[in-house]
Structure 1
Amino acid sequence: MENFVFAYPTKNYFGKEAAKQALNAELPKYGKNVLLAYGGGSIKRNGIYDEVMALLQEQGKEVTEFQGIMSNPTYAKVQEGAKLCRDHKIDFILAVGGGSVSDCCKAVSAQAKLTSDLYDYEYQEKKIPQDGIPMGVIVTAAGTGSEQNAGAVITYEEKNWKGALWGTPASFAVLDPYYTKTVPQKQVLSGAFDTLSHCMETYLGTPRQPNLSDRMNEAVMRSVIENTRKVAKDPEDMNARSELFWAAAMAENGILKIGKVTDFQAHMIEHQLGAFTNCNHGCGLAAIQPALYRHLAPAARKQYARLARNVFDVNGEEADDETTLEIALKGIEKLAAFIREIGLPTTLTELLGEVDDAMLRQVADTAVITKGCAKQLTPDEIYAILQEAK
């Protein structure tokens, strides 16, 4: 296990009607000017907006609304939110929605306190913001675990770039499983697959021998698969929704990453695919991951075979390298079968319709190559993987 320092800043309020408990306990700690951030307006249709506004008004808060945050939040939207914060002297940001809203607000929080451009500050000056406007998150869609950390995935349209910016982690998060009933079933299932992907990409990093973090991760992955199947069959299964909500938090609160250098090569490829196509994130991962793992498994066959046996219930003894790889590949086929079972796309053609090879070449040429990956891929190999995923 690698050396580590672990601290966990986010306080989680979990369960039915957790928003009232959280806001009554947390809002008095902050000033009166609140930025209420949300997406396309679904929270107004499903009643969450009225509930949250009533709680803010009870606390005597002055509310500035920041709406229209898109599913792949843009850098321009971050700048819009930061300007609102400066113009209205915002003391606290309350993000209500899924990972996109949370991601956007974490970046807004940091940008609002910086005098320089956030992207240049992080990628040119190589600095991480140490100050930001305090924020909290009310999560309505499980999957990303964005509310548990400081990372924000942002699309910089002018640069054809989608990647991580670092902002302010939420001081608290509201995880009410009943709120997940307000989002479409496809989003629930793609979010669940995003959770599974986070877990796999942590598990398949280094070190590659068995360790405590990975053994905990195996339990989380099995739970995600089991409860995704339950929700796919019965969207009213609140126990399964609760399990998926907490699994999403566990995948990204840092616990499963302790002592690990993570993989996340699939995410890096999908981010660039999203930068060029604006595709659904979980669906993009589903289309890419099996093809990617077939390329990576030979370089870490024992690790992939352990995933196959302990998570996907593949039987077999590792008598030699050949049989170990055979077990690993069977696990990848079970992953692909699970993706088909829950109705997510298994190819890029299913995801996008017509696929432009020139665009795939650009995705391959601009994707970040990760250090924790079993094999250091080249742009040419990423392009070959994307061709196989078509």
Structure 2
Amino acid sequence: MENFVYEYPTKVYFGKGAARQHLSNILSAYGSNVLLAYGGGSIKKNGVYDEIAGILKESGKTVTEFTGIMSNPTWEKVREGAKLARENKIDLVLAVGGGSVIDCCKIICAQAVTDEDLWEVEMVRHGIPTGKPIPLGAVVTASGTGAEMNGGAVITNEAVKIKGGMYAAAPRFAILDPDYTMTLPRMQVLSGAFDTLSHAMETYFGRSDRDNVSDEVALAVMRSTVVNMRTLLRDINDYTARSNLMWTSAMAENGILKVGRLTDFECHQIEHQLGAYTDCNHGQGLAVIHPAYYRHLYKSAVPKFAKFARTVWGISEVDDEKAAQAGIQTLAGFIQECSLPTKLLQLRSKTEITPELLRQVADSTNLLPNGYKLFTHDEIYEILMECI
């Protein structure tokens, strides 16, 4: 294994009624001014808002609401939230929602305490934010991204058409109650779960020359995610499957799978830029791209793909090349089984997806060096055209 330092920043409260049981005690450690951040209002329809707002009121907190965080949070939305946090002298930001809400709030917490433009600092100068960010807590209502488990955030700068990873404040605590996910639309649940599967695959297929503990855990997370997604195909309200998927989502992004090894998130880089040019769903975009991407990658890592095929998909083929191909094909079949999109034109996007747009997506995709193959922009374009 590679050398590493591992520290886990987030305390997790998991299970039914976790907010009612723990949130009041958690809040006692923070000041009186709370920024309650959420998205489009679904938490008001399913009762989560009333529960969390009630606990905040009972705890004597002064609440400032920050709403309307979109599915691909923008840099302008971050700036809006940071301004609100400064003006109201916020002591704690409480993000209630899925990965987009949590990601937006991570950067808000850091941007609110500095006059520097953090997009300029991180994305242009490749620097590190300074200053102590406002404390952040997360109440997860849609699992899949694992955003509650780390300090990374994906933010879209519409002005320059870049959707990229930034790093700021990891949540101090996270409340994971599977019941909070029960009112989500079926496709949102499945696309979120596929994002979890993608995180584990992208970690596993990073360049790593020897078997290691992290790989074995990643394979187990992938296998469990597939099993529980198939359970939801039979019963979308199965609580055990929902709870397992909520925890595999967390496991895929709490750093455990990544310690001591290199990772390859090239497929995410492609989808991020697709998301910068369109408004497609992240998990669904990944579902379209992954099989085509792996068909271009597997020859550079045949033994790794063969192990993935046998361990995750139960492929019995003894020849590594054939097993690797069968694993990719089975992944593609699983995506169809889940009724996830398999072509870019099936994505619900207000922006027309054309070869010309895909050329722009490919040319602006960040190329990562830690995979078994370093792709070119032309190869990324070829992959995207195969997906159209």
Alignment partners' CA distance in 1, 2:37 and 2:174 = 14
State how 1:162-311 maps to structure 2 within 5 Å. 162-311=163-312
Q: Which runs of 5+ in 1 are unaligned?
A: 319-323
- Does 1:350 pair with 2:346? yes
- Secondary structure of residue in 1 paired with 2:64: strand
- Does 1:369 pair with 2:367? yes
Letter in 1 for 2:326: K
Alignment partners' CA distance in 1, 2:316 and 2:211 = 18
> Alignment partner for residue 329 of structure 2, among 329, 333, 343?
333
**If the length of structure 2 is used for normalisation, what is the TM-score?**
0.97
Letter in 2 for 1:340: Q
Specify the alignment match of 1:27 in structure 2: 27
- The answer to whether the Cα contact below 8 Å between 1:193 and 1:286 also exists between their aligned partners in 2 is yes
Structure 1 position 124, deviation (Å): 3.1
- Secondary structure of residue in 1 paired with 2:28: helix
- Does 1:379 pair with 2:377? yes
Alignment partners' CA distance in 1, 2:274 and 2:61 = 41
Alignment partners' CA distance in 2, 1:181 and 1:64 = 27
Alignment partners' CA distance in 2, 1:248 and 1:63 = 29
- The answer to whether the Cα contact below 8 Å between 1:135 and 1:171 also exists between their aligned partners in 2 is yes
Structure 1 position 45, deviation (Å): 1.1
Alignment partners' CA distance in 2, 1:139 and 1:271 = 22
Structure 1 position 352, deviation (Å): 5.0
Alignment partners' CA distance in 2, 1:159 and 1:22 = 42
- Does 1:389 pair with 2:387? yes
Aligned-residue sequence identity (percent) comes to 56
| Post-superposition CA distance 1:46-92 (Å, at most 9, x none) | 11111111100111000000000001111000000000001100010
Letter in 2 for 1:204: F
- Secondary structure of residue in 2 paired with 1:263: coil
State how 1:85-100 maps to structure 2 within 5 Å. 85-100=85-100
Alignment partners' CA distance in 2, 1:22 and 1:281 = 31
- The answer to whether the Cα contact below 8 Å between 1:2 and 1:207 also exists between their aligned partners in 2 is no
- Does 1:8 pair with 2:4? no
- Secondary structure of residue in 2 paired with 1:65: strand
Alignment partners' CA distance in 2, 1:375 and 1:225 = 26
Alignment partners' CA distance in 1, 2:207 and 2:27 = 40
| Post-superposition CA distance 1:89-129 (Å, at most 9, x none) | 00100000000000000010010011110111112332222
- Secondary structure of residue in 2 paired with 1:331: helix
Alignment partners' CA distance in 2, 1:91 and 1:251 = 29
Alignment partners' CA distance in 1, 2:291 and 2:237 = 30
Specify the alignment match of 2:64 in structure 1: 64
Specify the alignment match of 2:39 in structure 1: 39
Alignment partners' CA distance in 1, 2:126 and 2:346 = 39
- Secondary structure of residue in 1 paired with 2:112: helix
Letter in 1 for 2:386: E
Aligned residue pairs total 385
| Post-superposition CA distance 1:14-71 (Å, at most 9, x none) | 0001012331221111110000000001111111111111100111000000000001
Which moved further from structure 2: 256-265 or 62-71? 256-265
| Post-superposition CA distance 1:329-374 (Å, at most 9, x none) | 1100000000000010011122258630010000100001112221
Letter in 2 for 1:201: E
Alignment partners' CA distance in 1, 2:239 and 2:164 = 33
Letter in 2 for 1:217: A
Letter in 1 for 2:335: I
Alignment partners' CA distance in 2, 1:281 and 1:233 = 24
Letter in 1 for 2:121: Y
Letter in 1 for 2:323: I
- Secondary structure of residue in 1 paired with 2:110: helix
Specify the alignment match of 1:134 in structure 2: 135
Q: Which runs of 5+ in 2 are unaligned?
A: none
- Does 1:119 pair with 2:115? no
Alignment partners' CA distance in 1, 2:38 and 2:44 = 10
Structure 1 position 255, deviation (Å): 0.5
Specify the alignment match of 1:321 in structure 2: none
Alignment partners' CA distance in 1, 2:270 and 2:48 = 34
> Alignment partner for residue 359 of structure 1, among 346, 357, 360?
357
- Secondary structure of residue in 2 paired with 1:113: coil
- Secondary structure of residue in 1 paired with 2:301: helix
Alignment partners' CA distance in 2, 1:343 and 1:287 = 11
Alignment partners' CA distance in 2, 1:13 and 1:95 = 15
**If the length of structure 1 is used for normalisation, what is the TM-score?**
0.97
Alignment partners' CA distance in 2, 1:270 and 1:66 = 27
